[in-house]
Amino acid sequence: MDQLELGKPEERRKPEKRVNGIFWIILLNIGIYVADHLFQVRGIKSLYLYHNWPAWYQFVTATFCHANWNHLSSNLFFLYIFGKLVEEEEGNFALWLSYILTGVGANLVSWLILPRNAVSVGASGAVFGLFTISVLVKMSWDWRKILEVLILGQFVIEKVMEAAQASTALSGTFRGGNSLQSVNHIAHLSGALVGVVLVWLLSRVPSQPPNGEVSNSHRKKDRTL
């Protein structure tokens, strides 16, 4: 009886997925912030996205830079939540790919829309992209999944509405010429939209059955022949 009771938890226990990618992304954001604002390392400012004359790599590197500690801490909070959800569902590579693509997409839209004197930094676009992806990949008819979507959904609806209102008054956002301290709602909205497009594109890719299933199906056909 004791052996059966001890054996049941081990048999039912599922292998845990190792979630490491999100912590490396967080450490990279913190490391660049420390080098920039605490040690004031020369060259870090060149990683910012300067809209007047941007270098190609700045569309990527700007997603790891932040204007101040409040900017960084708020992004890290949501980055951990949504990034962990994406990595648990889709894996480490999908997390990094989603972070880079949504962050670059958000910076690209910001560069196209915002004034030339603007400077874009922050992981906000990638955070909103990861949020959208985490919601879409969890959508199913399971009541637990639906509850998660509803809880997370109220957050994105509020932010999208703020972004829509901000996009109608961009000139007021950049008053005083201090564009770096402004909230880039365009990046929030575009990052979320890039996440939707990314999930849609991946859903169009046909999934191939595992090798075991293919071989088994061939064996069944051989037996019938």
Positions annotated as catalytic residues are 124, 188
3-state secondary structure of 121: coil
151: left (phi over 0), alpha (psi -120 to 50) or beta: alpha
Cα 213 to Cα 107: distance, rounded to the nearest angstrom? 43
Contacts for 49 with CB less than 8 Å, ≥ 6 apart: 58, 59, 61, 62, 107, 110, 111, 119, 120, 121
> Using CA atoms, how far apart are residues 216 and 50, in angstroms rounded to an integer?
57
User: Taking a C-beta distance cutoff of 8 angstroms, is the pair 185, 166 a contact?
Assistant: yes
Q: What is the tally of helices (H) and strands (E) in the chain?
A: 10, 2
